[in-house]
Structure 1
């Protein structure tokens, strides 16, 4: 059984609006700096380890990467550590950007 849910961009927008999840960007730092979802934190090893040990396991967690593959591995890790609501963004930042381009 999966310990996380893959979530579409439209559902992720609703999640962000209603539940203010912690948002984690697991792409390279240069890509994060070039653009990311509002309020997203860049995941580096120390942040990941700190959250796994001391993070609020009841706060929803939305994780994304480039295209939605690497974020699933990270989402699974957080689920394994007992986080209750873990979501991986389907299609990653590429999909998010496509739905949010003007």
Structure 2
């Protein structure tokens, strides 16, 4: 059983109205620049390493990619490092649009 959860785009929208999760876009930089969810940070290697070592492990984190596959691997990694409230966006940015 995975330690992270999945969330759909329709579930994420109300979450963003009531809380401020850490939003991480793990797509490549070009696609991030072309468009991303408001307030999302591009998850480049430096940010990933910094968050893994110094991030608030209880803070809600939502990770997304293109179609929801790569973000599951990233969410699993954060969970393995002790983050307790990690979500992968089901069907990724494609579902958000």
TM-score range normalised by the length of the shorter chain:
over 0.9
Q: Which residue of 1 aligns with 2:86?
A: 86
Q: Which residue of 1 aligns with 2:9?
A: 9
Q: Which residue of 1 aligns with 2:43?
A: 43
In the alignment, the residues of structure 2 paired with residue 70 and residue 81 of structure 1 have an alpha-carbon distance, to the nearest angstrom, of 17
In the alignment, the residues of structure 1 paired with residue 14 and residue 71 of structure 2 have an alpha-carbon distance, to the nearest angstrom, of 19
TM-score, length basis structure 2: 0.97
Deviations 1:13-59 (A, max 9, x none): 12222221000000010000000000000011110000000001111
In the alignment, the residues of structure 2 paired with residue 2 and residue 62 of structure 1 have an alpha-carbon distance, to the nearest angstrom, of 15
Deviation, 1:61, is: 0.1
In the alignment, the residues of structure 2 paired with residue 57 and residue 14 of structure 1 have an alpha-carbon distance, to the nearest angstrom, of 22
Question: Aligned pairs, how many?
Answer: 97
Q: Which residue of 1 aligns with 2:30?
A: 30
TM-score, length basis structure 1: 0.92
Task: Give me the CA root mean square deviation.
Answer: 0.7
Query: Stretches of 4+ moved more than 4 A in 1?
Result: none
7-16 vs 47-56, which moves further: 7-16
